[in-house]
Chain A
């Protein structure tokens, strides 16, 4: 859009019309191309794997693509106290509402789920994490929260090692060394619990008349986990 001030409507419109005519004749459209499957050519650049490498930071559940380097529980403890404990708690119990590292033991988690009581508030690395390489991936890309992606591979391995030790992950003793060969071998306690969804699991029918007899049991404000005072939105509330 032109920034110059238009002194006169007529002039401005005339100029726009000229521009339109010019642009119509300036472009040639390729009408021979198959419109249903346009072949795209001449757009973008090829790139080498070496150039992509700094961005190729996904570590698969089975350890594929884990970086070189290693870390220890004791080195991780120092990093954790300095950069993580303020949010995740000195003992991994969570602080200020941030996630716990240590949840209910996995059998207790399972029992709570089966009993229909709250199983999800006390989740942690020991009951809701399938694979150790995923933990390394998460920490290396996303933590510490205030400075994501700033840990070196050795630091990320160390603090991964430490939080697993904190959560009593079997095999991760005080002398455990985390690297790309040791992490995939760790058996996370929750690993056997994961199942893949098989599709819709409810089968309601489209009943239209007299769908049930008797009275419905209506519940109002039954089981508040949080503060229900949020309640109704006030029209004047513009937070």
Chain B
């Protein structure tokens, strides 16, 4: 970075460049935090601003000041600055045998809002991304219906539309961390997750058109890619294959489901199911079939490969748990995070994201002393159901060691668990739905590390 700067940054200069009135506001707020977290109270100096060095070199112009820039449409579809080339999806080679049945991760460490730019949306394929011709593509809706129907993509675009902002999370988000610390990077601990504005047709609109039999208790979507992926989704009155009722907690999410053709205002990307995909807000992402070609209404689950082998949890009593469909409340601090080093003592803003598959985020609490004391963070609007919510809290870093963490509570009152609590009920072989509190350790050197607290 520094070699691109013409003006040298004097040692000790405040690179964050916070205006002084803001700075006083931050300091006032951080006193409140210090009161809650005794650990930092003693070392925070109200006169920290006085310690700043002074810039004396006359300022020079940057080269861009004396040249013409590019014309319009020189980049017909805009791209990020060349200086942002490191902000990309990444994968982990050893996780999967190849990149075709594999996963990549969204770089949350570099993002500032709740919306995932489309080019940075995590990818999960079971048979690779395909290019489906929207002219030739068809969606069939059939099964326990009065009238089976077939639609073109244009048909779907003509129907009453529905738009909503929701997160989409792979149930394997965090999976590598069940047995111990493994990924020293926010991108790899929490990157199997996105949040977008989705537009499409509500499933209930299609259900009305075909006249779904009230006796139908499940439906499933199927893709037109090589995996022809299919997942059973419960509706009211659904029973599992053993005849036991599916808890009502899981039988109403489908009402918000939609067949989407757009994300963040533009057509879906091939990576995310172009031209159409199913999307079930709040449910684990695997149910939201990409390249959707068929919806079938039925009265029992399929119990597919995905439901038997992949998205199940091996419990400490030796049982295999199915149909854990909702992503429960979760949160993570995105700054500071292990992907970046702290840039000297002084003012920071702790920032993060929180989400719940059951509804809105009610509170996010932040601790900087390993979970002994907590302070409620500010929730940044909008706070929407089944959507990422950004949170912030001012933080004065005194240069000492801190264990920082966030804890989400959703509108149902569910409080995000600690790793210890989660391991007590799920053991170490559970793989999926690891929504425990994430702890980062700020070292004296300014390094930030992924750590786990085992005993609380």
Q: Confirm or deny: B428 has a beta carbon within 8 angstroms of a beta carbon on chain A.
A: yes
Does A202 interact with chain B (Cβ within 8 Å)?
Answer: yes
Instruction: Report the separation of the CA atoms of residues A234 and B376 in the bound assembly, to the nearest whole angstrom.
Output: 32
Query: Which residues A148-196 have CB closer than 8 A to chain B?
Result: 148-149, 190, 193-196
Q: Which residues of A contact B187 (CB under 8 A)?
A: 233
Contact with B along A191-206 (1 / 0, CB 8 A): 0011111111111111
Q: Which residues of A contact B151 (CB under 8 A)?
A: 43-45
Q: Residue A3 at the B interface, CB < 8 A?
A: no
Smallest CB gap from B209: residue in A: A40
Is the pair A130, B92 in contact by a Cβ cutoff of 8 Å? no
Is the CB of A26 closer than 8 A to any CB of chain B?
Answer: no
Contact assessment for A208 and B301 in the assembled complex, using a CB-CB cutoff below 8 Å: no
Interfacial chain A residues near B227, Cβ < 8 Å: 141-142, 148
Complex: A27 Cα to B97 Cα, angstroms: 55
- Do residues A142 and B185 form an inter-chain contact, with CB atoms below 8 A? no
Tell whether, in the assembled complex, residue A119 and residue B314 are in contact, meaning their CB atoms are under 8 Å apart. yes
Chain B residues within 8 Å of A126, by CB? none
In the complex, 6 of the A-B residue pairs with CB atoms within 8 angstroms, ordered by the A residue number, are A43-B158, A56-B296, A119-B429, A194-B242, A209-B36, A219-B453
Q: Which B residues are in CB contact (< 8 Å) with A201?
A: 425-426
Given known contacts A149-B228, A204-B416, A47 and B148 CB-to-CB distance under 8 angstroms? yes
Instruction: Known A145-B101, A194-B319, A198-B247; judge A131-B159 contact (CB<8 A).
Output: no
Q: How far is the CB of B242 from chain A (nearest CB, A)?
A: 7
Please pick, from A202, A211, A217, A228, the residue contacting B371 in the complex, using a CB distance under 8 A.
A211
Q: Is A5 in contact with chain B by the CB < 8 A criterion? A: no
Interface contact A148-B338, CB-CB below 8 Å: no
Query: Whole-angstrom distance between the alpha carbons of A116 and B300 in the complex?
Result: 33
- The reply to whether B372 and A97 form a contact with Cβ atoms under 8 Å apart is no
In the complex, A135 Cα to B316 Cα: how many Å?
26
Sorted from nearest, which 8 A-B pairs have the closest CB atoms?
Answer: A223-B180, A222-B180, A97-B97, A61-B303, A110-B318, A148-B226, A202-B417, A138-B305
Is B127 an interface position by the 8 A CB rule?
Answer: yes
Whether a CB of chain B sits under 8 angstroms from the CB of A231 is yes
> For chains A and B in complex, what number of residue pairs have CB atoms within 8 angstroms?
300
Q: Smallest CB–CB gap between B244 and chain A, Å?
A: 6
A236 with B220, Cβ < 8 A, contacts A111-B318, A123-B309 known: no
- A40-55 interface with B by 8 A CB criterion: 40, 43-49, 51-52, 55
CA distance A30 to B155 in the complex (A): 19
> With contacts A120-B431, A209-B36 known, is A129 near B309, CB below 8 A?
yes
Contact segment of B26-34, B61-69, B82-90 = B82-90
Range class of the B interface residue count: 35 or more
- Contact flag A199-B184 (CB < 8 Å), given A47-B140, A119-B429, A129-B309: no
| Min C-beta distance of A115 to chain B, whole Å | 9
Known: A113-B318, A117-B428. 8 other contacts (CB 8 A): A40-B209, A44-B150, A114-B316, A148-B226, A197-B250, A197-B325, A209-B373, A218-B439
In the complex, per-residue mask of B211-255: 1 if CB is within 8 Å of any chain A CB, else 0? 000000000101000111010000000001110101101100000
Given contacts A148-B227, A211-B374, contact A199 B247 (CB under 8 A): yes
Contacts of A113 in B (CB 8 A): 314-318, 427, 429
B contact set with A: CB distance below 8 Å: 1, 36, 85-86, 88, 90, 92-98, 100-101, 107, 109, 126-127, 140, 142, 147-152, 155, 158-160, 176, 179-185, 187-188, 205, 208-209, 220, 222, 226-228, 230, 240-242, 244, 246-247, 249-250, 293-294, 296, 298, 300-305, 308-309, 312, 314-325, 328, 338-339, 363, 365, 370-376, 403, 407, 409, 414-418, 421-422, 425-429, 431, 439, 441, 449-456
Give bound CA distance, A52 to B85, whole Å.
46
How many residues of chain A get a CB closer than 8 Å to chain B's CBs? 93
Contact, CB under 8 Å: B456 / A58: no
Q: Which chain B residue shows the least CB distance to A98?
A: B97
Q: Which residues of B contact A209 (CB under 8 A)?
A: 36, 373-374
B140–A55 touching, CB < 8 Å: yes
Taken together as a complex, chains A and B put the C-alpha atoms of A199 and B403 apart, in Å, by 31
Verify B454–A219 contact, CB threshold 8 A: yes
Q: Which residues of B contact A39 (CB under 8 A)?
A: 208
Residue from the set B92, B95, B181, B417 with the largest chain A CB neighbour count within 10 Å: B181
With A and B bound together, what is the CA distance between A207 and B418 in angstroms?
A: 12
> Do residues A218 and B453 form an inter-chain contact, with CB atoms below 8 A?
yes
The answer, yes or no, to whether A226 is at the interface (CB within 8 Å) is: yes
Interface residue A9 (Cβ < 8 Å from any Cβ of B): no
Residue of B101, B228, B240, B421 with most chain A CB atoms under a 10 A cut-off: B228
Residue of A nearest to B139 (CB): A44
